[in-house]
Amino acid sequence: MRGGAAACRAHRGRHRPLRCRQQRLAAHRRGRGGRLSGAVRAFRPAGDGDQGARRRGPRVGRGAVAAAQPRGARRRGAADAGRALEARLRGTGGWPAARARSRAPRPLAAGDGAAVDGRLGRTLRRGGGGGSAVVSESRTAPPEAEEGVEGRRDPASAGVATSERQPDSESAAIELVPRFAAQGYEEDEVARRREWVARKTGAELDHVGRSSIPSRSLRGNIENPIGSVQMPLGVAGPLRIRGEGIDESVYVPMATTEGALVRSYERGMVMLSRAGGVTTCVERDENRVAPTLLFDGVEASSAFAEAIGGAREHVAAAAESTTSHGRLTSLQPYVVGRRVILEFRYHTADAQGMNMIVRATEEACRWIADEFLPRLRGEFEARLGRAFGECRMSIFSGYAAEKRAAASLLQGGKGKRVQAAVEVPRRLLRQTLRVTPEDMVELWRSTVVGHLHSGSVGFNGHAANGLTSLFIACGQDVANVANAAVAISVLETTRAGDLFASVTLPSLTVATVGGGTALATSRECLQMIGCWRPETGGNGLSRRFAQIAAAMVLAGDLSFSAAIISGEFVAAHERYGRNRPDQGTG
């Protein structure tokens, strides 16, 4: 290859797309080449000095292609060279198509009202004319659905020749679960997907396929359905409850595989009913989301926390515009350095409502980004004479303690705060559980040490056991047991020598509408306890459900404690808890 200006002009006349080596290398460094065949582009994340603007990285052009190819490839022309480089890059995993299409999210600048939702991968930015927020999504489109049950090809390996794939490389072909054109909720599509899984795994799925739940009703509850899992369902009771909107005995459905559990809860329920019933009340009914806002300094974070309270009505209007059921009840900022955890609390009626309030909070964050932050920035800079800086938002901070235990749950805010209490006469306690009030209180005191030593959050016998069985039976989000079971049980003796027992469930997340409550078996179990009615469904019945759950937990804790004191715990599990179908257990 000849060098110099004259050689460059002569060379340009014969092969216009190719340039002299010096020019090609310079163009490659500057990133000023033409488009690569196939329109594969690379994007680089926004830097710190460009105010968060999204910038497009260097395009790989024909000049750069020629510089990266061997001498023989350059002589075949720019088009052949482009195709060769593209094949090389895809074959080595250098620039997979999905990775090349991705874009880094744009940071939120307080001056232009942008907002970044870290969980959803969205960038919210203000329109150029000062209008409403515009959503620019950076998600990669899902793979195309294919008819049949031969699985789907991983899009990362699409278009790559078999000879170019390496067995251990990221671009190796894999088969995805069949999805079908409409996501596959028809009976025959569920059956074909189940057959495909059986062939791939070698498992026999006969029982999984024997489901009485119509497959179409599964949409919105699960993806890639292949059937249903059967759980043993028992019933315990009667459980007498006297509380808000309820004064009756109920029989409680319990789905579990733990032998002796239903019998133990039933024993406690019968005793409480003979004692006159459990008194219950619901003190609070709300759910929460807590986004985090990251500022450039503590002055900006403190200024935001001080000012946001004055905009509560506007924030509430933005949030409630997305739902006809949710209502914002509280807006509380917590400053941690240059971060602000902004806690939104909502009343969600009879729904668990997490999806509802996340959507509402996202809309409220749009308003904060578009309207509130620009005004706050102007006031801040006018008062202090310093730049306000940027603000980045993430819809989840971890403060809400969704589906995990946390000490903050003891204060409530994650569902319904429910109390259940009973006074059990001494004679009844001895007759039914074979213990005295003093025995029960002594055990309760001694277990305080173990709870403290283990770092437990809450103090109770086994609230999670009963709640889990009730949640499965009644179509609740079972993962919420993690926060719902943060409970406090208290045992005391009265002046008359009887036993006073109570349980507090400060963050009981339950629902009678939405989610799994609409499934056929869940609806039947809810109907058993009066939390679903043909004329109204589950509307207006979630507080009733919460009181039943609290009374159930109290019954279970008392029976559990008495079994430990009397030495019956091991014997009961040996009798009822061993899976020996060929032997009767009496």
Catalytic residues: 258, 477, 573
Q: Is the peptide bond before 425 cis (omega within 30 degrees of 0)?
A: no
Tell me which DSSP letter residue 164 carries: G
Which amino acid, one-letter code, is at 471?
A: F
440 C-beta neighbours (distance < 10 Å), count: 23
3-state secondary structure of 213: coil
Cα separations in angstroms, 423 against 8, 248, 276, 555: 99, 17, 9, 12
Cα separations in angstroms, 183 against 152, 179, 221, 490: 13, 5, 13, 50
Q: Where are the alpha helices (H) located in 368-407, listed in sequence order? A: 373-384
Burial environment of residue 261 by CB neighbours within 10 A (0 to 12, 13 to 18, 19 or more)? buried
Angstrom distance (rounded) from CA 472 to CA 228: 13
E strand or H helix at 235: strand 233-243
Asked if 529 and 455 touch (Cβ cutoff 8 Å), the reply is no
Angstrom distance (rounded) from CA 13 to CA 15: 6
Helix-, strand-, coil-residue percentages of the chain, each rounded to 5 = 40, 20, 40
E strand or H helix at 201: helix 187-201
491 C-beta neighbours (distance < 10 Å), count: 21
Angstrom distance (rounded) from CA 92 to CA 102: 18
Asked if 260 and 576 touch (Cβ cutoff 8 Å), the reply is yes
SS3 assignment for 487-525:
CEEEEEECCCCCEEEEEEEEEECCCCECHHHHCHHHHHH
Which residue has tokens 């409680």?
252
Bridge partners (DSSP) listed for residue 255: 233
Cα separations in angstroms, 20 against 13, 29, 93: 12, 14, 29
Angstrom distance (rounded) from CA 469 to CA 256: 5
Angstrom distance (rounded) from CA 90 to CA 321: 46
Closest residue by Cα to residue 429 from 252, 291, 272: 272
Can you say whether the dihedral through the CA atoms of 353, 355, 357, 359 is positive or negative?
negative
| Long-range pairs for 2-7: beta carbons < 8 A, 24 or more residues apart | none
Angstrom distance (rounded) from CA 106 to CA 73: 39
